Amino acid sequence: MKLLIVEDEKRMSDAICAILRQEKYDVDPFYEGYGGLDAARSGIYDLIILDVMLPGVNGFDIAKTVRKTGIQTPILMLTAKSDVDDKVTGLDSGADDYLTKPFETRELLARIRAMLRRENIKRTDDMGMLTVGDLKLDQAKSMLINTETGGDIRLSEKELHIMEIFISNAGNIINKEQLAVKIWGYENEAEYNNVEVYISFTRKKLQFLGSCMEIKAVRGLGYELRKKEET
């Protein structure tokens, strides 16, 4: 899971990032509003942790702008303020939850888990595995399963991330830049042909499973996981 944190207090941000990375989340920190807004509008994140008081653009305005662009990424808003009006303003701006500083680490992690769980509920089965069509993704074992035939195949780390992204966004077009940043990160020098290579690997594994789902290239836009067209 890829998380964005926009917090101008560097010590606070570094502490949160360390906690989240220890929990195996991939985290990108930003320390001011404009950079955080640009990152939030990229649509590549699974969750946004957003401070209210920021230089440049405040958290309320970032949340409003993100929602106006149609991005529905869950937003957890952080603030030192505990006033009810501030909480209401944050929620009305588009935040999904609100956490007042100082907070306990276990509460932060519990709220993140709950928000991610709600976001993925439409794509998970009773065991909490991501599923779409005849595919089920066992993330703990890095296995992709055909629920119709019972066949399975192991995925590499990059292939696992690719399938997490596509199943969570089934029916939506994901462009190469989004995939590159989500999988390799902003600071990595990975080229777009790396995306194509791993898409090719993943497609071969879908073919091996005989799945009814395919990763389809959409000319000029990117890729989409969708059901194969009947011939």
| Residue pointed to by tokens 């502490």 | 15
Give 48-74 pLDDT, tens digit per residue: 999 998 999 999 999 999 888 878 789
More confident site: 2 or 169: 2
- Please determine, for residue 230, whether its predicted confidence score (pLDDT) is greater than 70: no
Average model confidence (pLDDT) for the chain? 86
Which structure tokens are listed for 70?
């149609």
Q: Are strands 2-6 and 75-79 parallel, antiparallel or unpaired?
A: unpaired
- Note if the pTM is more than 0.85: no
Which residues lie across from 51 on neighbouring strands?
Answer: 78
Query: Measuring CA to CA, how many Å separate 74 from each of 24, 48, 118, 144, 222?
Result: 18, 6, 9, 26, 23
The helix (run of H) or strand (run of E) holding residue 71 is none
pLDDT one-digit tens code per residue, 148-198: 999 999 999 999 999 988 888 777 788 888 788 778 776 555 566 788 899
CATH 1.10.3720.10 fits 125-227, yes or no: no
pLDDT for residue 98: 86
In the chain, CATH 3.40.50.2300 covers 2-121
Q: What is the arrangement of strands in the sheet containing 2-6, beginning at the earlier edge strand?
A: 26-30, 2-6, 47-51, 75-79, 97-100
CATH top class, domain 2-121: alpha beta
Dump strand ranges (E) for the chain: 2-6, 26-30, 47-51, 75-79, 97-100, 130-132, 135-138, 143-146, 152-154, 213-218, 222-227
Domain with CATH 1.10.10.10 in the chain: 125-227
Separation of first and last alpha carbons in the chain: 36
